[in-house]
């Protein structure tokens, strides 16, 4: 966590790498309690298929902090670590409509979608002071805030309730070079599963989801390397596009 706050690179994982998601979330929750900002939502990542049995889940979570959220009215600057793990992801972002009941730890996919009041397009910046973080596995990623960096929140998807969400498509560009294509179909069991996983995990850990919280549901075109100076654009077809500029992360107070 100190490396994150100082925006400095790590050469090795600090301490013992957690073996389970339970251990990883304990580390994450302790770090959340020390971080000088409030939670504005959660980012969701997919666990690789070959590792899902080991971790007992297909999803992993990280907190999104209020100071790291930007609106896509212009082309916001988004900080990422220099010389470390730094990527961008094309995302569909769910907005929680009402405070979620405390203590409900099991949700159906239909119940999960019922808490969503809005669905937006956006870009997540993801990173870690440790360049090889992903090589240590999903539990290590979870322990480092899920490798979350920031979120650019774009416009709403019109009539999303009536549309086939699995048919939503997007393309990611870095410096006008196409780096990935895909869409919601690339999320295992879809957007609804990411929301379900968020509801269940946060409830079990005592984190209350509140009205207005955001759920960034997962990378839809892959994860794409980015560095300070890069310009990022994600086209969501008829639903619009979102842009940002990458800058070097600076120490946080």
pLDDT for 252 equals 79
Split at pLDDT 50, 70, 90, the class of 73 is confident
Answer whether residue 1 shows pLDDT above 80.
no
Name the one residue in this structure whose structure tokens are 């690789």. Answer: 48
Higher-confidence position of 218 and 1: 218
Higher-confidence position of 220 and 74: 220
- What secondary structure letter does DSSP report for 99? P
Do 9 and 248 meet the contact criterion of CB atoms below 8 Å apart?
A: no
Once rounded to an integer, what is the mean pLDDT over residues 230-249? 97
pLDDT for 235 equals 98
Do 198 and 209 meet the contact criterion of CB atoms below 8 Å apart?
A: yes
**Torsion angle of the four alpha carbons 138, 191, 165, 187, in this order, in degrees rounded to the nearest 10:** 10
Burial, 57: exposed, middle or buried (Cβ in 10 Å; 0-12, 13-18, 19+)?
middle
For the chain, give the mean pLDDT: 96
Q: Is the pTM of this model over 0.85?
A: yes
Report the C-alpha gap between 201 and 213 in whole angstroms: 15
pLDDT for 7 equals 85
Once rounded to an integer, what is the mean pLDDT over residues 65-82? 94
């Amino acid at each position: 966590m100190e490396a994150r706050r100082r925006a400095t690179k790590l050469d090795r994982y600090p301490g013992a790498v957690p073996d389970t998601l339970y251990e990883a979330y304990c580390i994450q929750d302790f770090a959340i309690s020390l971080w000088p900002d409030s939670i504005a939502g959660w980012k969701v990542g997919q666990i690789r298929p070959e590792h899902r049995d080991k971790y007992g889940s297909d999803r992993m979570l990280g907190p999104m902090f209020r100071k790291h959220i930007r609106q896509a009215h212009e082309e916001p600057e988004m900080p990422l670590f220099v010389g470390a793990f730094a990527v961008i992801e094309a995302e569909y972002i769910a907005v929680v409509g009402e405070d979620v009941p405390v203590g409900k730890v099991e949700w159906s996919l239909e119940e999960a979608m019922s808490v969503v009041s809005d669905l937006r397009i956006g870009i997540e910046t993801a990173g870690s002071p440790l360049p090889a973080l992903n090589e240590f596995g999903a539990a290590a990623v979870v322990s480092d805030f899920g490798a979350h960096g920031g979120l650019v929140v774009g416009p709403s998807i019109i009539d999303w309730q009536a549309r086939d969400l699995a048919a939503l498509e997007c393309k990611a560009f870095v410096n006008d070079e196409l780096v990935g294509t895909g869409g919601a179909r690339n999320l295992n069991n879809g957007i609804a599963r990411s929301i379900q996983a968020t509801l269940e995990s946060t409830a079990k850990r005592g984190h209350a989801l509140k009205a207005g919280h955001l759920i960034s549901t997962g990378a839809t075109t892959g994860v794409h390397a980015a560095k300070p100076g890069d310009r990022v654009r994600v086209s969501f077809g008829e639903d619009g596009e979102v842009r940002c500029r990458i800058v070097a992360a600076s120490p946080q107070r």
